[in-house]
């Protein structure tokens, strides 16, 4: 019998779906009572159990929401769907309807004996209010995606067709929105951004460079995003400090002079001039007049000779990072 952790009022307990049903059958009974004027009780009970089962399958205890809160929304939603599909009468019997008993006026709901006020537990749970507040902070389209999938239990394929998007995109979007909602509910959706001085960034760039992995390393060290660090490369003008910088160095030349510009030439290593084909442990290297063909299996990459030393330096830096 499959079990999963379920958060009750005062404890977390590993429970099966049968045990969950026994635990909350009185609550299910009360949920069905409000629809008795329109449908048979047995039909309502089956629909409510489907909602309970969906809640059980989709519930995650690490969301820090009581199961009853989650189940109340799922059961209520399932009953409303059933009502929309099977409209038989115009009037709905309400348990809040009053009737006279001798000199007293009572509501039908008062005739149902139950020591536990499940509605108060479910709908006054503070997590519900936190969730509603968090949803309000999302963009309208993001809020609709969360509500349709998470609260109305619609399929991701149906939502994808509605917005003319791919199902995989909706799936990724929904997961990211759940993470965002959790951060909002925990109050850390706006993290204060730390600062890095130009002197610190120059030091890091000289040591690590400005490549993708180096940027991630620097960002992690200072608690910033890689995108922020990349923007600092330009705003703080530190790219030229990198040992792998490939930009051209500019010289102040009088516009009226006819002196030609000096070109920076990279001297080709002597070992590349003496041999034509080199076989290594990983691949084979064919030396041509202007370039070198690097062959790895069925893949061949052509690199100009003047960029060979840059490649060697980058591979050396990569080896230093991963080792």
Q: Which of 171, 183, 129 is nearest to 146 (CA)?
A: 171
- Render pLDDT for 25-45 as a digit per residue (tens, 0 to 9): 888 888 888 787 778 888 888
- Render pLDDT for 223-255 as a digit per residue (tens, 0 to 9): 888 888 888 887 788 888 876 666 544 444 444
Report whether pLDDT(262) > 60.
no
Phi and psi (nearest 5°) for 277?
A: -135, 130
Q: Give pLDDT, residue 42.
A: 85
Report whether pLDDT(129) > 80.
no
Distance of alpha carbon 142 from alpha carbon 133, whole angstroms: 14
Q: Which of 2, 24, 31 is nearest to 15 (CA)?
A: 2
**CA separation, residue 60 to residues 28, 65, 124, 131, 184 (Å):** 21, 8, 20, 15, 18
pTM over 0.75: no
Percentage of the chain lying above the pLDDT 70 cut: 72
Q: Residue 25: left if φ>0, alpha if ψ -120 to 50, beta else—which one?
A: alpha
CATH code of 127-186, in short, is 1.10.10.10
Distance of alpha carbon 72 from alpha carbon 118, whole angstroms: 9
Distance of alpha carbon 116 from alpha carbon 39, whole angstroms: 25
Chain mean pLDDT for the chain: 75
Report whether pLDDT(106) > 70.
no
Q: How far from the centroid of its chain's Cα atoms is residue 246's Cα?
A: 36
The whole-number average pLDDT for the span 217-226 is: 85
Percentage of the chain lying above the pLDDT 90 cut: 0
The whole-number average pLDDT for the span 171-184 is: 85
């Amino acid at each position: 019998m499959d079990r999963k952790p379920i958060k009750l009022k005062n404890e977390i307990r590993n429970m099966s779906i049968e045990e969950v049903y026994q635990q909350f059958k009185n609550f299910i009974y009360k949920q069905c009572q409000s629809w008795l004027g329109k449908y048979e009780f047995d039909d309502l009970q089956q629909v409510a159990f489907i909602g309970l089962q969906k809640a059980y399958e989709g519930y995650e205890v690490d969301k820090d929401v009581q199961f009853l809160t989650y189940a109340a929304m799922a059961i209520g939603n399932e009953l409303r769907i059933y009502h929309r599909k099977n409209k038989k009468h115009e009037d709905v019997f309400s348990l809040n309807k009053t009737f006279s008993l001798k000199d007293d006026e009572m509501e039908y709901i008062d005739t149902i004996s139950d020591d536990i006020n499940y509605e108060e537990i479910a709908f006054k749970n503070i997590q519900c209010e936190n969730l509603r507040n968090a949803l309000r902070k999302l963009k309208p389209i993001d809020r609709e995606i969360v509500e349709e999938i998470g609260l109305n239990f619609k399929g991701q394929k149906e939502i994808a067709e509605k917005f003319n998007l791919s199902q995989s995109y909706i799936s990724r979007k929904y997961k990211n929105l759940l993470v965002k909602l959790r951060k909002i509910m925990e109050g850390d959706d706006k993290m204060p951004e730390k600062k890095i001085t130009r002197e610190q960034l120059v030091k890091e760039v000289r040591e690590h460079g400005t490549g993708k992995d180096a940027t991630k390393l620097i960002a992690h060290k200072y608690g910033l995003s890689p995108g922020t660090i990349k923007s600092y490369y330009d705003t703080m003008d530190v790219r030229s400090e990198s040992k792998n910088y490939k930009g051209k160095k500019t010289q102040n030349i009088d516009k009226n002079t006819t002196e030609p510009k000096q070109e920076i030439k990279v001297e080709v290593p002597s070992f590349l001039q003496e041999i034509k084909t080199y076989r290594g442990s990983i691949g084979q290297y064919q030396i041509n007049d202007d370039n070198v063909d690097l062959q790895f299996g069925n893949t061949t990459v052509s690199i100009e000779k003047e960029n060979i030393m840059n490649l060697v330096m980058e591979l050396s830096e990569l080896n230093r990072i991963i080792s």
